[in-house]
A and B are shown apart, each in its own frame.
Chain A
Amino acid sequence: MGAEPQAAAGNDFTARAPKALNDPTLRANFRRAMDGLMSKRAAQFADTPAWEALRARGAAAKARVLARLPELLVELEENCRANGIEVHWAESIPEANAIVLEILRAAGARTVIKGKSMVSEEMELNHHLAAHGIQAVESDLGEYIIQLAGEAPSHIVMPCIHKNKAEIAQLFAERIPGLGYTEDVDALTAAARAELRGRFAAADAGISGVNFAVAETGTLVLVENEGNGRLSTTLPPLHIALMGIEKLVETLEDLPPLLALLPRSATGQHITTYVNMITHPRRPGELDGPEKVHLVLLDSGRSRVFGDDQLRDTLRCIRCGACMNHCPVYSRVGGHTYKFVYPGPIGKILTPQLEGLDCAGDQPHASTLCNACVEVCPVKIPIADILVRLREESVRPGHSGAVKGGGARRSWLETLSWRGWMLIYSRPWMGRLAAWGMTRFGNLLPERLPLLKAWTSVRAKPRFAAKSLHELAREQGYCDE
């Protein structure tokens, strides 16, 4: 372990950030996108009291889910089964991948068409399937673009937000036979449609995520604008839905407020083009829809997050992306700098909990604690409080065990410094002496001093005043310190 917190475990965010910050195209792409998303969202919630009431209702709906999570999962499972949807449980990502592969193999599936799913990104499902000879094609336009480019999503709602029109035009010209270079968005969209239509028709299976699973009715709810989610879940004979174990609602009645919050927070739309509620596979007499529907419930660290009643609030997230759109850090460094699947504020609290502070301990520090995310989060997740808590967990001795890899960023020098601080400031005479010393000699401290360097590497070194506050107060005649 290094002498300074900056060199401690799980940190290369600070090393990666300058690259993004110095990339003017990337900066411009994000600035334009974030400004657009923020103003569209603001227009949707112009009526503040109405928004507050709606938000309170949405937050309560998700908090209720967490209060009854194990019971609701069992209820969801029972109702899905009764509806003819097969339910699978996966503790880990390898387990989830194995389940999906097994289902596809049993069906003899060779090609898969995918709707957008962040859980599948978590699983790196496409790689896994490819390694076993199954081709998975992304059909959400943004996901399709980054799949062509061999990149990862940079935003949870708009995965190719880091690319501009010219970059996409170039990519399509290279990768779509017969298209040529065009920056006409309609032409680019039409080219993708034409490419993907055949893939949909030929696919042996469709894989999707789930936005809300309704425990009461065993219904899977998917929201989207493109229709690719509907196609993926309707056209192929087999549908596999992937969801984290937290993405539930108790009742159908809880759905309308959450549906009113999600798209408005995400993209400033009053509703998405499609809200797709799937309750059964194709039933006798019906002419389309998959014959078989499977639901895979993924834990992968979530039950551990659930174990701590403060950190648990992380699991209320409905993945709207508003927190990243409003984040001064995300909007400047973009999604790839975080290096994990979930970027921005939600990523900064979720990733260290899922992956461990030993390998993602840098994430909670990539924040100014400005609170912008907390103000816009539609389900009122106290992101800033959780960030602070995770920072504590990462340096805590004999930590609570709430987070994997807790204490990983603890450094002896920092610990020693705080001990010294405590010692000095719990004794008034020592405190006075220290203040006197700092005012007289503090400015002589070299910038490169360990600990101080962490601050001075990106900021000017603070200057100590010539006299301490206490001295000034005494001079003014205040004698009671």
Chain B
Amino acid sequence: MSDARANILARLRAAPRTAPPERPDWTPPVFGEGRLERFRAMLGSVHGEVVETTLAAWPERLAALLAERGVRRVLYGPAAPVGAQLGRAWMADADAPTLVPYDRSIEEMKAELVHTVEAGVTSVRWGIAETGSLVLWPDAAEPRLMSLLPPLHVAVMAASGLHDSLAQLVAEQGWAGAMPTNALLISGPSKTADIEQTLAYGVHGPKELLVLVLTDQ
């Protein structure tokens, strides 16, 4: 098979060369003060819900939002700041939903994650106003499947993490030197239009996306 590599590269190298064109100017949009409004509108347009709250109040607010939806089993990452705060807050609340820690490998937790948890709570690394996107860099404390397997994804985002565009984030945050195992942009709940271009939500991932924006952060 090593021949394949050599042969392909040899053919490509034998081809006539052209000079690479310059990258023409292109300026991604900037929203300034209107950033949060833009974020909310764009995420809303793809069926995501934005709730404004604060660092101190969000766990209680979330408990109420989940109670409205009848959600009882919530996946969380106890070792992550968001998960740790949730754990502390809900422990004191007898009516709060049951917390399921994602603390073992997926192989050990598969049945629970694939079939029984009803919501997953994750942090958000940054937000993107242009497209109403959440940027998640899952890690050992908040693994990749938390935002995918449960029917409801709750994402907790600091308002200060909101940026104008992906281009701005990639450049300012130096992504090129620090790509994580998996970086995700999430814009709304899972959806499909494969049947007669009719939108249906929750085809494989969450049916609902709830973003808690911490306005004091």
Contacts and interface: CB of A to CB of B under 8 A. Distances in A.
The answer to whether A and B interact is: yes
Interface of A: 32-33, 36-37, 53-54, 56-57, 60-61, 63-64, 66-70, 73-74, 88-91, 95, 99, 139-142, 145, 158-160, 164-165, 168, 185-186, 188-190, 192-193, 196-198, 200-201, 216-217, 219, 225-228, 230-231, 234-235, 237, 245, 251-257, 259, 267, 269-283, 285-289, 297, 299, 303-304, 306-309, 312
A276 B167 CA distance: 16
B181 to A, nearest CB: 4
Given A255-B170, A307-B14, A234 B200 contact: no
Contacts of A259: 166
Q: Main secondary structure on chain B at its contact with chain A?
A: loop
A64 B185 contact: no
Contacts of A255: 166, 170
B176 A216 contact: yes
A432 to B, nearest CB: 45
Interface string B124-166: 0000001111000001100111001000000000000000011
A279 B180 contact: yes
B69 interface: no
A142 B144 contact: no
B181 A53 contact: no
Given A217-B179, A273-B46, A89 B4 contact: yes
A275 B175 CA distance: 15
B34 interface: no
B21 A64 contact: yes
Nearest to A165: B196
* Residue among A60, A160, A226, A253 having the largest count of chain B Cβ atoms under 10 Å: A226
Given A274-B186, A299-B4, A231 B195 contact: no
Given A192-B203, A288-B144, A306 B22 contact: no
A164 B192 contact: no
Nearest to A84: B181
Given A63-B20, A188-B200, A283-B181, 18 more contacts: A89-B1, A95-B1, A168-B195, A186-B200, A193-B203, A201-B110, A201-B111, A225-B193, A230-B148, A234-B182, A254-B23, A270-B187, A271-B187, A273-B187, A274-B187, A275-B133, A279-B179, A279-B181
Nearest to B15: A307
Given A95-B1, A270-B131, A278 B191 contact: no
Given A61-B23, A89-B5, A185-B196, A197 B144 contact: no
Contacts of A68: 20
B195 A279 contact: no
B53 interface: no
Interface residues of B, number: 82
B140 A286 contact: yes
Contacts of A225: 190-193
A73 B9 contact: yes
A47 B105 CA distance: 48
Nearest to B5: A89
A185 to B, nearest CB: 4
B25 interface: yes
B24 A227 contact: no
B4 A67 contact: no
Given A67-B20, A165-B195, A309-B16, A286 B143 contact: yes
A36 B195 CA distance: 13
Nearest to A169: B195
B187 A185 contact: no
Contacts of A253: 167, 170-171, 176
A288 B21 contact: no
Contacts of B26: 53-54, 56-57, 257
Contacts of B171: 253
A227 B114 CA distance: 13
A76 to B, nearest CB: 12
A90 B197 contact: no
A333 B194 CA distance: 19
B184 A139 contact: no
B185 A95 contact: no
Contacts of A198: 114
